[in-house]
Structure 1
Amino acid sequence: MGEVSIESHSHQKAQFLYTEGGLVYVKNELEEFYLPARHFMWIPPGVEHAIFPSSPKVVMRNLYFPVQKNDKAFYFQPGIYPVNDMLLQLLLFTESWNGDILPQDQEKFPIAVAFKVLLPQISNTPVLLNLPVARDERLKRVTHLLRKDLSKNRSIAEIAQQFSISERTLHRLFKKDMNISFIRYYTLLRIFTAIEYIIEGKYTIAEIALMVGYASLPSFSNTFTKIVGKRPTEYYKSNYISSLSKV
């Protein structure tokens, strides 16, 4: 609690990162993940990453697990997953844990093992809350412009003209450099930014829709639901802090 940022680093063990009360950005060279409240992110061992909470009010809980070569594929892929009631209860059970949990810790070690074993069974499908990071210098400038003011609904033709490149070239750049279409990137950027505004709690859903470039509230709500899995109003209600307080 109260962390401003955690600079780029990696671990020999895998990391289970849970958050409440806000949004956590997890970044590496290729992707930027948006970890929302009541979700966890699995970070495999050896993966470089930096962590940036959206505010000092964010609560994070970190657990670290060794991963063996013959473990399931789940443990070797980064991903974001919702936390169900059973997993939340296990988290609450581990709230007082601190430091290493060793095999001789008869009361704790079986719970830690069960926690790890249950994760791939509980978490079947990751929530795709990640954006690729531009490496091409031209795309870096384009994505910076898109992020600068999402209330303006810019077309790919307008962007291409502004940067003196053809629409076809811009399409190719997105697919080649980030393996994503312009439309998909722009849509995800808008919705992920909307999540940030919802968490702030300063604006109505209608205001947020306009702030991220949607003139139609139903269109915004439907797109948000398709990507996040909850309607904007439902997401706002689920963004609460339980008794978890450990970092």
Structure 2
Amino acid sequence: MIEEKYYINKVDTYKKSIYCHHDLMGELLIPTHKHDKSQMLYTEGGIVYVVTQTNTYFLPARHFMWIPSGVEHSIHTNSKNVVMRNLYFPVKNNEHIFYETEGIYPVNDLLFQMMLFSNRWDGDLIKGSRKYDITMAIKAILPTICKINLPLSLPFSKDFRLTKIINYIDENLGETILFSKLAVQFGFSERSLYRLFQKDLGMSFIQYLTIRRILKAIEFLIEKKLKVNEVAQAVGYDSVPSFSNTFYKILRQRPSDYVNGEQILKKSKQNILLTF
């Protein structure tokens, strides 16, 4: 039953504590819910999507999502064995604007080591304890080190006409998709379809297609079934350099570095002190 889950009946029990939870997800879906506390979510070992009322976020390896207090969200994954590392922070008055905005951010070495330091902590961390102070330090450094809110999200379409087009795009990411042909195929002029994308999604067709392709590419890279050049082709890029450059603009690292980084992550986990 959903009422028995920690994220429903434990996180907000003590309003002033930091709640810490590290564990396997154990399910493919965490249903829509919200917290009085803000949530810092880091995951390992699979493909994870976080769905809010306005956007679908893709949470890749070595990134975390900040979910402000009161934001309804659900969590979707391809494996029950995904490891979730959650820190839930009480909201204070006059906080930095960073804490008011949902977003995806890369995890640098410092932040990664600090998060893993709390690996075996569980439950409420009470003010005055060393664990509380260390965890609050994690929160305190976020506005300083997290300067780039990565565009790893796509808004929901509210117009049924555009929903059909988006479904077509998703099913044909590996193909050449021309805007002019797309407009004709679905009975639009190019100008009217351009306006529909801007009005309904707040972005252009090119912006939507680019982000969608990169999100799919990240999924392929995590699965490690395809080489980088094969991933590029699978998401519609004829040129590997073009794919690599686009990937870099969005994630600030090359596809090959992203794949190799997972090995670095595993080695780091083996070497770090996991208890306190």
Report TM bin, short chain. Answer: over 0.9
CA distance 1:3–1:237, change in 2 (3 Å): farther
**Is the Cα contact below 8 Å between 1:37 and 1:238 reproduced in 2?**
no
In 2, Cα distance between equivalents of 1:107 and 1:219: 48
Match of 1:188 among 186, 211, 230: 211
Within 2, Cα distance between the matches of 1:56 and 1:228?
Answer: 26
Shift of 1:228: 1.4
Structure 1 vs Structure 2: percent identity of aligned residues?
A: 48
Instruction: Tell me how many residue pairs correspond in the alignment.
Output: 244
Moved beyond 6 Å, runs of 4+: none
Amino acid at match of 1:79: G
TM-score (normalizing by structure 2):
0.84
**In structure 2, C-alpha distance between the alignment counterparts of 1:96 and 1:194, rounded to whole Å:** 33
* Cα offset, 1:122, TM superposition: 1.9
Q: How far apart are 1:58 and its partner, in Å? A: 2.5
C-alpha contact 1:41 1:80 (8 A) present in aligned 2: yes
Counterpart-to-counterpart distance in 2, 1:142 and 1:131: 14
What's the offset of the Cα at 1:102? 1.2
Is residue 114 of structure 1 aligned with residue 133 of structure 2?
no
Gaps of 5+ in 2: 1-23
Report which stretch shifted further, 34-43 or 154-163.
154-163
> CA offset at residue 173 of structure 1?
0.7
2:7 aligns with none
Deviation at 1:56, TM superposition (A): 3.3
Q: Does 1:172 align with 2:208?
A: no
Tell me how large the CA RMSD over aligned residues is: 1.7
Q: 2:113 maps to what in 1?
A: 89
Map of 1:98-109 to 2, 5 A cutoff?
98-104=122-128, 106-109=129-132
Runs of 5+ consecutive residues of structure 1 not aligned to the other structure: none
The answer as to whether partners of 2:40 and 2:64 remain within 8 angstroms in 1 is yes
Work out whether residues 174 and 182 of structure 1, in 8 Å CA contact, stay in contact via their aligned partners in 2: yes
Residue 76 of structure 1 deviates from its aligned partner by: 0.4
SS at match of 1:114: helix
Structure 1 window deviating more from structure 2 (26-35 vs 176-185): it is 26-35
For residue 3 of structure 1, report the CA deviation from its aligned partner.
3.1
Match of 2:85 in 1: 61
**Map 1:143-182 → 2, pairs under 5 A:** 143-182=166-205
- Partner-residue secondary structure (3-state), 2:124: coil
* Residues 43, 85 of structure 2: 8 Å contact kept: yes
- The residue aligned with 1:20 is 44
- 1:42, 1:33 → 2: CA distance? 11
Q: Give the structure, 1 or 2, with the largest relative contact order (CA under 8 Å, sep 6 or more).
A: 1
- Checking the alignment, whether the CA contact within 8 Å between 2:151 and 2:211 is kept in structure 1 is no
Task: Give the CA deviation at 1:147.
Answer: 0.3
For residues 212 and 136 of structure 2, the distance between their equivalents in structure 1, rounded to whole angstroms, comes to 37
| Inter-partner Cα distance in structure 1 for 2:180 and 2:211 | 19
Q: TM-score, normalised by structure 1?
A: 0.93
Q: Amino acid of the residue matched to residue 230 of structure 1? A: Q
Matched, 1:227 2:250: yes
1:8 aligns to what SS in structure 2? strand
User: Aligned pair 1:217/2:240, yes or no?
Assistant: yes
CA contact (8 A) 1:23 1:35 kept: yes
Task: Kindly state the Cα deviation for residue 54 of structure 1 after the two structures are TM-superposed.
Answer: 3.4
- 1:199 alignment partner, SS class: helix
**Does residue 78 of the first structure (1) align with residue 105 of the second (2)?**
no
